[in-house]
Structure 1
Amino acid sequence: MTAAPPAAPVPPMPSAPAGPGGLVEPVGPVGSGSPGAAAVTASAVAETPRLRTTARRWLFWVVVVVAAVVFAVISVLLTASGAPDAERFSIGSAGPSGSEAVAEVLRQQGVDVVAAGTMAEAVAAVDAADGDATVLFIDPYGYLDDDQLGQVGGLGSELVLVEPGSAELSVFAPAVAPAGAAEEADAVDAGCRLPAAERAGDISRPTATYRMIDAGADSVTCFRSYDDAFGVVQVPGDADAGSGSGSDSGTVTVFGAGDALTNDGVLLRGNAALSLGVLGTHPTLVWYMPTYADVAGGPEPTIGELTPGWVTPVILLLLVVVVAAGVWRGRRFGPVVVENLPVTVRASETMEGRARLYAKQSAHVRALDALRIGTISRLTVALALPRHASVVDVSRAVASVTGLPVDQVHDTLVGALPRSEADLLALSDRLLVLEQAVHRATHDGPPATSSPSG
């Protein structure tokens, strides 16, 4: 059997099967050497790496990683305390929805603005002011239950409810009910005798409106949006605050113009005059926004609190075991080998190396595919078929020149699958016999009258 020319896409097939090591076709040599070259022109020198050389090579990357980690830690530490609070109505937020501007102006006017995130903080702030304080209450997430709302009603001299819901109104101002969103309008006029509203004149469109269910003589409704819907409603407080029926003294102001408190809307029309007038009536303003810590029963336990004490040591031990296993079983590089290029490699070395890999993995199908690809490529050239000819075309051409059945040829070239090493040897024999038959038919004379066995 002749070897294929170097330009063939698949290397030549061995002339005879010789066990698993001889079933893989050799590939061409590396470099400019020809097949069958016997000399290796390169000399190999083994050089064992030294610790100093390795450390010098990795020093730069170690320094870069350490510097990046240090920079990240410092950035987190410096920015954690100064992280902006984007929550709406927060006096610590300078964003459009925050209320830092209103709080700062009130402080400049001599009002002590105290932020409270829990009931305990609010009670402490009111006690520090001897009860002479305005309490601004905002609970958009409904953290407090009715009993806790009743406690809020006993705080301070004045109570300002910002965009309250039905639950808050039923406790603090039973005579007031939600009336929905305000009608579209650039501004609404005060239209009432409330001093802060009169100074404001008009304000931007309220966020929410409210209506009076049972209007009393001392009730005030301001900034009418439509029919009986108003942006601000003020009713007198109830002395029985402990039962949850309102503030123990002063007034309860239902403040639906929430945008008037934000940094983005305080400067629109008379919003600033209204906000400062309503919130600046007492020396102390307690800005109470309940948090999850006020939820009845306390906050839910964290995952760390629910986790048994032995879990963390076990996890750390497993990490140590994984790292140790990686070091133990990890791939270790051998000594550095310096070679002078170009290098000529024997074709037989590549063939034997691939054969050992196929044999080690029992890759019978892959080994046979390599043999079949080489055989089909050489048959295509021998029969003068186009390079894009299919296996069916090659099978028919081989059958026509050898006299073999087309099905048998197709089965040999692509159909049969080896189940064992014996099958692989048998099929490689059939490929060799088939290629020899085509060679005889194309070089020695007409096709044979009978098909060869095997």
Structure 2
Amino acid sequence: MSAGLDVALRGARTTAAVPLSARLRSAGVWIAAAVVILITVIVTMLMTSDRGEDDPLHYDSTSRGGGKAMVETLREHGVEVTTTEDGEEAKQAAVRSDTTLLIPANSEVLSPGDIAGLESTLAENGNGLVLIDPGSTVESFTDRITVNDNLRPLGSPDAVSQPNCPVPSAQAAGAVSTGEVEYAEAEKGTSGLSACYPLTGPGVEEVDGTEVAPGSARGQLIVDEGGDVPLTVIGNPEWAMNQTIDEEGNASLVLSELSGSSHLVVYYPQQSGAEDTPPSTLDYVPSWFIAGAVWLLPCVLILLLVLGRRFGPLALERLPAVVPAVETVHGRAALSARSHDRLGALHTLRTAALLRIAKRLALGPETRAPDILSQIAYKTGRDPAQIESVFVSAAPRTDAELTDLVHLLTRIESEIP
């Protein structure tokens, strides 16, 4: 088997090593994909993140149960809205005339002193108060309204409730979504109190079995103008939530009740002592950053695993390694060709040719190169200058010139008898 054929067969059986640039390009694809996915996750979390997602009807919450849509709609309709979680700020903002104070949730965390301070400020300036579904806490604000417990559930009530009262905002809004809690007058015949949207239908019934009369002082909306502070109780929180404010007449009813004055103060009480707790380091880190870092950790491990496997398993080889001479020759030739070392390759061919010719002419090992060149010129009859150029001085600048010199070198060697 010839050396060339041997090299061809071995080249077909072996796999060329993957260049470093190719490995880097492949790794770059994985890195770029991980970055794109991470950015997508972060943008998605930013677009869907909610301020106070556990705080229903919070004025900054864009979640389904938040109240941001209500607040922003009121601002668009010319109402000056002030939002706060601080009781003192709410009290100071409520000093202005033509102001309504709205407590959308968490009214149960207010102490009797807090409630008395707010109501005193409102009463001194002739301003009103709106509560959204305060539950039994309503009795801490007034002794004229209570939760109506004189109903017996028989199943699912009507999906919508009719006003059944002369209140202008309720008449304009019409039917609204039905809630779960009904409020009523604390004492029968309380003057200055209007109740709208009573729970009626096949799903509820009064304990005594009497029918609900239009204008009766019980319902999901209570407007009390007879107390020290004008008070409105919105009994169904879904009327003001982002998800359901656009259903039925919910938006019309809530916005009408809250836009009766030019200035609205939205006070969202927080648990006592919550503001006194010093923030930790994690409080300053966005939630999306922590989620992204946790998500990126397995991606980095997978990437390292993929890059590590690209180098292949470890190869065991017995030492010393014996390399055939033909492999060395062809290996050096390949290195010369890859590095475009034409002069080095030509020098190797010239030296081998001179050694073969000297042996053919029976010249001793002490014979110098000029003597060998003169013998070649004499035996072939060629010009000594041409022989000197081919075997010594010619320097090829291109692969074509190198090929021509090698062919001429081979032809001259073949002319030696």
TM-score, normalised by the number of residues in structure 1:
0.45
Q: Which has the higher contact order (CA 8 A, sep 6+)?
A: 1
Task: Flag the structure with higher helix content.
Answer: 2
The structure whose Rg is larger is: 2
TM-score, normalised by the number of residues in structure 2:
0.49
